Amino acid sequence: MISNSVFKNTVLFLVLAIVSCGNSAIRQKGSKTEISDAGTLTHKQNDPILCGADNFEKYQSLLANKRIGVVTNPTSIVNYDGNNKKLKNPVHLVDFMLSNKLDVVKIYAPEHGFRGTADAGELIKDGKDSKTGLPIISLYGNNKKPKPDQLKQIDIMVFDLQDVGARFYTYISSLHYIMEACAEENIPLLILDRPNPNGSIVDGPVLEKEFTSFVGMHPIPVLHGMTIGEYARMINGEKWLKNGVQCALEIIPCSNYKRSMSYSLPVKPSPNLPNDQSINLYASLCLFEGTNVSMGRGTEKQFQIYGSPFLPKSDFSFTPGPNLGAKDPVYNGKLCYGEDLSDAPKVNRLELKWLIKAQQETSDKKVFFNSFFSKLAGTQKLQQQIESGMKESDIRKSWEKGLNAFKKMRSPYLIYEN
Protein backbone atom coordinates (compact mmCIF):
# COMPACT_ATOMS: atom_id res chain seq x y z
CA MET A 1 0.00 0.00 0.00
CA ILE A 2 1.60 3.30 -1.11
CA SER A 3 1.06 6.31 1.15
CA ASN A 4 -0.24 9.59 -0.29
CA SER A 5 3.08 11.32 0.36
CA VAL A 6 5.07 8.58 -1.43
CA PHE A 7 2.59 8.59 -4.31
CA LYS A 8 2.87 12.38 -4.70
CA ASN A 9 6.68 12.20 -4.62
CA THR A 10 6.70 9.46 -7.25
CA VAL A 11 4.32 11.33 -9.55
CA LEU A 12 6.34 14.55 -9.20
CA PHE A 13 9.52 12.61 -9.93
CA LEU A 14 8.02 11.18 -13.12
CA VAL A 15 6.84 14.58 -14.36
CA LEU A 16 10.22 16.17 -13.75
CA ALA A 17 12.02 13.18 -15.27
CA ILE A 18 10.03 13.37 -18.48
CA VAL A 19 10.85 17.06 -18.79
CA SER A 20 14.56 16.64 -18.06
CA CYS A 21 15.63 13.36 -19.61
CA GLY A 22 16.36 14.55 -23.16
CA ASN A 23 16.89 11.49 -25.35
CA SER A 24 15.48 9.17 -22.69
CA ALA A 25 11.83 8.44 -21.94
CA ILE A 26 9.99 6.99 -18.96
CA ARG A 27 7.61 4.08 -19.32
CA GLN A 28 5.38 3.33 -16.36
CA LYS A 29 4.72 -0.24 -15.26
CA GLY A 30 2.08 -0.12 -12.57
CA SER A 31 3.60 1.73 -9.65
CA LYS A 32 7.13 1.12 -10.99
CA THR A 33 8.96 2.75 -13.86
CA GLU A 34 11.91 2.06 -16.06
CA ILE A 35 13.69 3.94 -18.79
CA SER A 36 12.39 2.78 -22.13
CA ASP A 37 14.52 2.25 -25.22
CA ALA A 38 15.31 5.70 -26.57
CA GLY A 39 18.13 5.04 -28.98
CA THR A 40 21.78 5.87 -28.31
CA LEU A 41 23.34 9.20 -27.48
CA THR A 42 25.70 10.62 -30.07
CA HIS A 43 29.17 12.05 -29.49
CA LYS A 44 29.99 15.68 -30.23
CA GLN A 45 33.42 15.92 -31.80
CA ASN A 46 36.11 17.67 -29.71
CA ASP A 47 33.77 18.54 -26.84
CA PRO A 48 34.93 17.42 -23.39
CA ILE A 49 33.29 14.41 -21.79
CA LEU A 50 30.87 15.50 -19.09
CA CYS A 51 29.88 12.87 -16.56
CA GLY A 52 26.32 12.73 -15.28
CA ALA A 53 27.34 14.63 -12.15
CA ASP A 54 28.71 17.44 -14.35
CA ASN A 55 25.27 17.98 -15.92
CA PHE A 56 23.76 19.69 -12.88
CA GLU A 57 21.14 21.54 -14.89
CA LYS A 58 19.63 18.17 -15.86
CA TYR A 59 19.12 16.88 -12.32
CA GLN A 60 18.84 19.96 -10.12
CA SER A 61 15.05 20.11 -10.45
CA LEU A 62 14.74 16.40 -9.62
CA LEU A 63 16.43 16.96 -6.27
CA ALA A 64 14.97 20.31 -5.25
CA ASN A 65 12.94 20.20 -2.01
CA LYS A 66 13.76 16.49 -1.53
CA ARG A 67 15.54 14.69 1.29
CA ILE A 68 18.42 13.01 -0.51
CA GLY A 69 20.46 9.89 0.12
CA VAL A 70 23.71 9.53 -1.84
CA VAL A 71 25.56 6.31 -2.69
CA THR A 72 29.04 7.67 -3.17
CA ASN A 73 32.80 7.37 -2.70
CA PRO A 74 35.88 9.44 -3.67
CA THR A 75 35.19 8.98 -7.40
CA SER A 76 32.02 11.10 -7.16
CA ILE A 77 33.71 14.23 -8.46
CA VAL A 78 32.03 17.24 -10.11
CA ASN A 79 34.11 19.24 -12.61
CA TYR A 80 31.47 21.56 -14.08
CA ASP A 81 28.83 23.85 -12.62
CA GLY A 82 25.21 24.06 -13.71
CA ASN A 83 26.12 26.30 -16.66
CA ASN A 84 28.65 23.87 -18.17
CA LYS A 85 31.53 26.02 -16.94
CA LYS A 86 34.54 24.14 -15.65
CA LEU A 87 35.14 24.59 -11.95
CA LYS A 88 38.51 25.93 -10.83
CA ASN A 89 38.93 22.85 -8.63
CA PRO A 90 37.05 19.53 -8.72
CA VAL A 91 34.45 19.19 -5.95
CA HIS A 92 33.04 16.07 -4.35
CA LEU A 93 29.39 15.51 -5.28
CA VAL A 94 28.18 15.71 -1.67
CA ASP A 95 29.94 19.06 -1.12
CA PHE A 96 28.67 20.30 -4.49
CA MET A 97 25.08 19.40 -3.67
CA LEU A 98 25.26 20.99 -0.23
CA SER A 99 26.74 24.19 -1.69
CA ASN A 100 23.76 24.33 -4.04
CA LYS A 101 21.34 24.15 -1.10
CA LEU A 102 20.22 20.58 -1.74
CA ASP A 103 19.10 18.62 1.31
CA VAL A 104 21.53 15.69 1.54
CA VAL A 105 20.65 13.72 4.68
CA LYS A 106 22.58 10.43 4.44
CA ILE A 107 25.64 8.95 2.75
CA TYR A 108 25.76 5.27 1.74
CA ALA A 109 29.27 3.86 1.30
CA PRO A 110 30.15 0.71 -0.74
CA GLU A 111 33.27 -1.49 -0.53
CA HIS A 112 36.39 0.53 0.42
CA GLY A 113 34.24 3.13 2.21
CA PHE A 114 33.21 6.74 1.64
CA ARG A 115 36.80 7.98 1.67
CA GLY A 116 38.03 4.90 -0.22
CA THR A 117 40.78 3.79 2.16
CA ALA A 118 39.56 0.36 3.28
CA ASP A 119 41.05 -2.92 2.06
CA ALA A 120 39.18 -5.08 -0.41
CA GLY A 121 36.70 -7.15 1.61
CA GLU A 122 37.34 -5.20 4.82
CA LEU A 123 34.41 -4.70 7.19
CA ILE A 124 33.31 -1.06 7.12
CA LYS A 125 31.36 0.34 10.05
CA ASP A 126 28.63 2.97 10.02
CA GLY A 127 29.78 6.38 11.15
CA LYS A 128 29.72 10.11 10.53
CA ASP A 129 31.56 12.16 7.92
CA SER A 130 34.00 14.45 9.72
CA LYS A 131 33.69 17.18 7.09
CA THR A 132 29.92 17.47 6.71
CA GLY A 133 28.63 15.74 9.85
CA LEU A 134 26.38 13.55 7.71
CA PRO A 135 25.66 9.99 8.85
CA ILE A 136 27.38 7.26 6.81
CA ILE A 137 25.68 3.90 6.26
CA SER A 138 28.04 1.09 5.25
CA LEU A 139 26.94 -1.06 2.29
CA TYR A 140 29.57 -3.72 2.84
CA GLY A 141 30.05 -6.63 5.22
CA ASN A 142 26.73 -7.87 6.60
CA ASN A 143 24.72 -4.87 5.39
CA LYS A 144 25.04 -4.94 1.61
CA LYS A 145 21.39 -3.96 1.18
CA PRO A 146 20.02 -0.95 3.10
CA LYS A 147 17.38 -1.89 5.64
CA PRO A 148 14.01 -0.08 5.63
CA ASP A 149 14.91 1.90 8.76
CA GLN A 150 18.14 3.05 7.07
CA LEU A 151 16.05 4.52 4.25
CA LYS A 152 13.71 6.51 6.45
CA GLN A 153 13.51 10.24 5.67
CA ILE A 154 14.83 9.61 2.14
CA ASP A 155 12.65 10.97 -0.69
CA ILE A 156 15.12 10.16 -3.49
CA MET A 157 18.36 8.21 -3.75
CA VAL A 158 21.33 9.35 -5.87
CA PHE A 159 23.89 6.78 -7.09
CA ASP A 160 27.28 8.00 -8.32
CA LEU A 161 30.15 5.48 -8.39
CA GLN A 162 32.91 4.92 -10.94
CA ASP A 163 32.79 1.35 -12.27
CA VAL A 164 35.54 -0.34 -14.32
CA GLY A 165 33.43 -2.76 -16.37
CA ALA A 166 34.27 -6.08 -14.66
CA ARG A 167 31.65 -8.45 -13.25
CA PHE A 168 33.52 -8.99 -9.98
CA TYR A 169 34.09 -5.29 -9.29
CA THR A 170 31.48 -5.05 -6.54
CA TYR A 171 30.00 -1.62 -7.24
CA ILE A 172 27.50 -3.20 -9.67
CA SER A 173 26.51 -5.62 -6.90
CA SER A 174 25.94 -2.63 -4.62
CA LEU A 175 23.86 -1.11 -7.43
CA HIS A 176 21.67 -4.23 -7.48
CA TYR A 177 20.94 -4.03 -3.75
CA ILE A 178 20.32 -0.29 -3.82
CA MET A 179 17.85 -0.71 -6.69
CA GLU A 180 16.11 -3.55 -4.85
CA ALA A 181 15.84 -1.61 -1.58
CA CYS A 182 14.59 1.50 -3.35
CA ALA A 183 12.01 -0.51 -5.30
CA GLU A 184 10.70 -2.13 -2.14
CA GLU A 185 10.43 1.21 -0.32
CA ASN A 186 9.06 3.14 -3.35
CA ILE A 187 12.05 5.49 -3.41
CA PRO A 188 13.07 6.81 -6.87
CA LEU A 189 16.71 6.24 -7.86
CA LEU A 190 18.71 8.83 -9.79
CA ILE A 191 21.92 7.54 -11.40
CA LEU A 192 24.63 10.00 -12.40
CA ASP A 193 26.40 8.03 -15.10
CA ARG A 194 30.16 7.82 -15.72
CA PRO A 195 32.16 6.32 -18.63
CA ASN A 196 33.40 2.76 -18.41
CA PRO A 197 37.22 2.90 -18.89
CA ASN A 198 37.03 -0.60 -20.41
CA GLY A 199 33.83 0.35 -22.20
CA SER A 200 34.22 -1.39 -25.54
CA ILE A 201 35.39 -4.76 -24.16
CA VAL A 202 32.89 -7.62 -23.83
CA ASP A 203 34.66 -10.89 -23.08
CA GLY A 204 34.99 -13.92 -20.84
CA PRO A 205 32.74 -16.74 -19.67
CA VAL A 206 29.16 -15.87 -18.74
CA LEU A 207 28.34 -16.51 -15.08
CA GLU A 208 26.41 -19.70 -14.34
CA LYS A 209 23.63 -19.42 -11.77
CA GLU A 210 25.18 -21.83 -9.25
CA PHE A 211 28.20 -19.53 -8.89
CA THR A 212 26.20 -16.45 -7.96
CA SER A 213 27.84 -14.38 -5.20
CA PHE A 214 28.62 -10.77 -4.33
CA VAL A 215 31.47 -10.89 -6.87
CA GLY A 216 29.07 -12.07 -9.55
CA MET A 217 25.32 -11.59 -9.21
CA HIS A 218 24.06 -11.75 -12.79
CA PRO A 219 24.47 -13.95 -15.92
CA ILE A 220 26.97 -11.67 -17.66
CA PRO A 221 30.56 -12.16 -18.91
CA VAL A 222 33.62 -11.07 -16.93
CA LEU A 223 33.84 -7.86 -18.99
CA HIS A 224 30.37 -6.51 -19.74
CA GLY A 225 31.09 -3.33 -21.73
CA MET A 226 28.41 -1.16 -20.10
CA THR A 227 28.26 1.94 -17.96
CA ILE A 228 26.60 1.91 -14.54
CA GLY A 229 23.54 3.62 -16.06
CA GLU A 230 23.22 1.07 -18.84
CA TYR A 231 23.73 -1.76 -16.37
CA ALA A 232 20.95 -0.42 -14.14
CA ARG A 233 18.61 -0.45 -17.13
CA MET A 234 19.48 -4.09 -17.73
CA ILE A 235 18.90 -5.05 -14.08
CA ASN A 236 15.46 -3.47 -14.30
CA GLY A 237 14.58 -4.75 -17.74
CA GLU A 238 15.67 -8.35 -17.08
CA LYS A 239 13.84 -8.30 -13.71
CA TRP A 240 16.89 -9.50 -11.79
CA LEU A 241 15.76 -7.86 -8.56
CA LYS A 242 14.11 -10.00 -5.87
CA ASN A 243 10.57 -11.06 -6.81
CA GLY A 244 10.96 -9.26 -10.14
CA VAL A 245 10.40 -5.82 -8.62
CA GLN A 246 11.50 -2.82 -10.68
CA CYS A 247 13.04 0.41 -9.52
CA ALA A 248 11.75 3.89 -10.41
CA LEU A 249 14.87 4.78 -12.34
CA GLU A 250 16.20 7.97 -13.91
CA ILE A 251 19.64 8.23 -15.49
CA ILE A 252 21.58 11.40 -16.19
CA PRO A 253 23.88 10.27 -19.03
CA CYS A 254 27.39 11.42 -19.87
CA SER A 255 27.63 14.07 -22.57
CA ASN A 256 29.97 13.84 -25.57
CA TYR A 257 30.88 10.23 -24.85
CA LYS A 258 30.90 7.06 -26.88
CA ARG A 259 31.88 3.60 -25.78
CA SER A 260 35.08 3.21 -27.81
CA MET A 261 36.64 6.42 -26.49
CA SER A 262 39.65 6.30 -24.18
CA TYR A 263 38.81 7.61 -20.74
CA SER A 264 41.40 8.20 -18.05
CA LEU A 265 39.91 8.25 -14.55
CA PRO A 266 40.66 11.48 -12.63
CA VAL A 267 40.40 9.62 -9.30
CA LYS A 268 41.45 6.03 -8.65
CA PRO A 269 38.26 3.95 -8.24
CA SER A 270 39.67 1.90 -5.34
CA PRO A 271 42.95 1.74 -3.40
CA ASN A 272 44.47 -1.06 -5.49
CA LEU A 273 43.69 0.44 -8.90
CA PRO A 274 46.12 3.37 -8.95
CA ASN A 275 46.35 4.13 -12.68
CA ASP A 276 45.07 3.44 -16.21
CA GLN A 277 47.29 0.38 -16.67
CA SER A 278 45.98 -1.33 -13.54
CA ILE A 279 42.39 -0.61 -14.58
CA ASN A 280 42.98 -2.05 -18.05
CA LEU A 281 44.63 -5.20 -16.65
CA TYR A 282 42.31 -5.56 -13.66
CA ALA A 283 39.88 -8.13 -15.07
CA SER A 284 42.66 -10.34 -16.43
CA LEU A 285 44.86 -10.25 -13.32
CA CYS A 286 42.01 -10.40 -10.80
CA LEU A 287 41.55 -14.05 -11.75
CA PHE A 288 44.80 -14.64 -9.83
CA GLU A 289 42.79 -13.91 -6.65
CA GLY A 290 41.52 -17.47 -7.07
CA THR A 291 45.03 -18.94 -7.19
CA ASN A 292 48.19 -18.98 -5.07
CA VAL A 293 49.62 -16.06 -7.10
CA SER A 294 49.80 -12.43 -5.96
CA MET A 295 48.81 -9.69 -8.39
CA GLY A 296 50.78 -7.04 -6.58
CA ARG A 297 48.68 -6.06 -3.58
CA GLY A 298 51.10 -4.66 -1.02
CA THR A 299 53.31 -3.05 -3.68
CA GLU A 300 53.10 0.16 -5.71
CA LYS A 301 52.21 -1.79 -8.87
CA GLN A 302 48.91 -3.38 -7.89
CA PHE A 303 47.30 -5.25 -10.82
CA GLN A 304 50.33 -4.51 -12.99
CA ILE A 305 52.54 -7.38 -11.81
CA TYR A 306 52.05 -10.96 -10.73
CA GLY A 307 54.19 -13.52 -8.95
CA SER A 308 54.55 -16.03 -6.12
CA PRO A 309 57.21 -17.94 -4.18
CA PHE A 310 56.18 -21.02 -6.21
CA LEU A 311 57.08 -19.68 -9.64
CA PRO A 312 60.57 -20.13 -11.15
CA LYS A 313 63.29 -17.63 -10.25
CA SER A 314 63.54 -14.90 -12.85
CA ASP A 315 64.92 -11.41 -13.45
CA PHE A 316 61.79 -9.88 -11.91
CA SER A 317 60.81 -10.24 -8.26
CA PHE A 318 58.91 -8.31 -5.59
CA THR A 319 58.19 -8.56 -1.88
CA PRO A 320 54.68 -7.47 -0.76
CA GLY A 321 54.31 -5.39 2.39
CA PRO A 322 51.50 -3.54 4.18
CA ASN A 323 50.27 -0.37 2.44
CA LEU A 324 47.08 1.59 1.78
CA GLY A 325 44.42 -0.91 0.73
CA ALA A 326 46.47 -3.98 1.74
CA LYS A 327 47.18 -4.10 5.46
CA ASP A 328 48.15 -7.79 5.30
CA PRO A 329 48.77 -8.70 1.66
CA VAL A 330 49.25 -12.21 0.33
CA TYR A 331 52.90 -13.28 0.80
CA ASN A 332 53.54 -10.39 3.16
CA GLY A 333 57.35 -10.14 3.49
CA LYS A 334 58.02 -13.07 1.14
CA LEU A 335 59.99 -12.89 -2.10
CA CYS A 336 57.84 -13.52 -5.18
CA TYR A 337 59.01 -14.20 -8.73
CA GLY A 338 56.86 -13.42 -11.73
CA GLU A 339 56.33 -10.81 -14.41
CA ASP A 340 56.14 -7.02 -14.61
CA LEU A 341 53.30 -5.87 -16.92
CA SER A 342 53.40 -2.18 -16.02
CA ASP A 343 54.62 -1.31 -19.53
CA ALA A 344 52.69 -4.02 -21.39
CA PRO A 345 50.54 -2.95 -24.37
CA LYS A 346 46.91 -2.17 -23.58
CA VAL A 347 44.66 -5.23 -23.73
CA ASN A 348 41.31 -5.27 -25.53
CA ARG A 349 40.01 -8.59 -24.19
CA LEU A 350 40.11 -10.80 -21.11
CA GLU A 351 43.74 -11.91 -21.33
CA LEU A 352 44.43 -15.50 -20.26
CA LYS A 353 48.07 -15.97 -21.27
CA TRP A 354 49.53 -14.91 -17.90
CA LEU A 355 47.19 -17.15 -15.93
CA ILE A 356 47.94 -20.12 -18.18
CA LYS A 357 51.70 -19.47 -18.02
CA ALA A 358 51.69 -19.26 -14.22
CA GLN A 359 49.66 -22.48 -13.89
CA GLN A 360 52.08 -24.29 -16.19
CA GLU A 361 55.18 -23.04 -14.33
CA THR A 362 54.06 -23.29 -10.68
CA SER A 363 55.94 -25.83 -8.58
CA ASP A 364 52.79 -27.73 -7.52
CA LYS A 365 49.83 -27.55 -9.89
CA LYS A 366 47.56 -29.32 -7.39
CA VAL A 367 47.51 -26.26 -5.10
CA PHE A 368 47.48 -23.56 -7.78
CA PHE A 369 43.71 -22.94 -7.84
CA ASN A 370 41.53 -22.35 -4.77
CA SER A 371 37.74 -22.48 -4.32
CA PHE A 372 37.36 -18.75 -5.00
CA PHE A 373 38.48 -19.12 -8.61
CA SER A 374 35.16 -20.53 -9.86
CA LYS A 375 33.26 -17.65 -8.24
CA LEU A 376 35.47 -15.14 -10.05
CA ALA A 377 35.28 -17.01 -13.35
CA GLY A 378 31.56 -17.68 -12.86
CA THR A 379 32.04 -21.29 -13.88
CA GLN A 380 34.11 -24.37 -13.07
CA LYS A 381 34.83 -24.91 -16.74
CA LEU A 382 37.68 -22.40 -17.00
CA GLN A 383 39.74 -24.10 -14.29
CA GLN A 384 39.04 -27.49 -15.86
CA GLN A 385 40.03 -26.23 -19.30
CA ILE A 386 43.33 -24.78 -18.05
CA GLU A 387 44.19 -27.88 -16.00
CA SER A 388 43.49 -30.13 -18.98
CA GLY A 389 45.90 -28.13 -21.16
CA MET A 390 43.24 -26.85 -23.56
CA LYS A 391 44.52 -24.28 -26.05
CA GLU A 392 43.65 -20.68 -25.27
CA SER A 393 41.99 -20.30 -28.68
CA ASP A 394 39.70 -23.25 -27.91
CA ILE A 395 38.85 -21.83 -24.48
CA ARG A 396 37.81 -18.60 -26.19
CA LYS A 397 35.66 -20.48 -28.68
CA SER A 398 33.77 -22.05 -25.78
CA TRP A 399 32.68 -18.53 -24.72
CA GLU A 400 31.26 -17.47 -28.10
CA LYS A 401 27.69 -18.73 -27.71
CA GLY A 402 27.28 -17.10 -24.30
CA LEU A 403 28.87 -13.82 -25.43
CA ASN A 404 26.63 -13.59 -28.49
CA ALA A 405 23.52 -14.20 -26.37
CA PHE A 406 24.66 -11.56 -23.85
CA LYS A 407 25.31 -8.94 -26.54
CA LYS A 408 21.82 -9.51 -27.90
CA MET A 409 20.32 -9.24 -24.41
CA ARG A 410 22.17 -6.02 -23.52
CA SER A 411 21.44 -4.24 -26.82
CA PRO A 412 18.10 -2.60 -25.77
CA TYR A 413 19.70 -1.12 -22.65
CA LEU A 414 22.61 0.70 -24.28
CA ILE A 415 22.64 4.49 -24.08
CA TYR A 416 25.81 5.38 -25.99
CA GLU A 417 27.01 4.67 -29.51
CA ASN A 418 30.12 2.57 -30.08
Stretch among 4-18, 160-174, 215-229 having the lowest mean pLDDT: 4-18
Confidence of residue 110 (pLDDT cuts 50, 70, 90): confident
**CA gap 414, 396 in Å, rounded:** 25
How much is the pLDDT for 339? Answer: 98
4-265: CATH topology: Rossmann fold (3.40.50)
**CA gap 314, 340 in Å, rounded:** 11
* pLDDT tens sequence across 242-268: 999 999 999 999 999 999 999 999 999
* pLDDT tens sequence across 367-376: 999 999 999 9
* pLDDT tens sequence across 138-163: 887 788 999 999 999 999 999 999 99
* pLDDT tens sequence across 377-409: 999 999 999 999 999 999 999 999 999 999 999
Nearest to 218 by CA among 175, 187, 181: 175
Burial grade of 331 (CB within 10 A; 0-12, 13-18, 19 or more): buried
Are 49 and 60 contacting, i.e. CB atoms less than 8 angstroms apart? no
| pLDDT surpassing 60 at residue 30 | no
How much is the pLDDT for 127? Answer: 76
Domain range annotation of the chain = 4-265, 276-387
Interval 207-232 mean pLDDT: 98
Global pTM reads 0.88
C-alpha dist (Å) from residue 54 to 77, 78, 163, 174, 378? 8, 5, 17, 22, 35
Long-range Cβ contacts of 93-102 (<8 Å, 24+ apart): 93/53, 93/158, 93/160, 93/192, 94/70, 94/129, 94/132, 94/134, 95/131, 95/132, 96/53, 96/56, 97/63, 97/68, 97/70, 97/158, 98/132, 100/56, 100/60, 102/60, 102/63, 102/64, 102/66, 102/68
Interval 32-58 mean pLDDT: 70
How much is the pLDDT for 376? Answer: 98
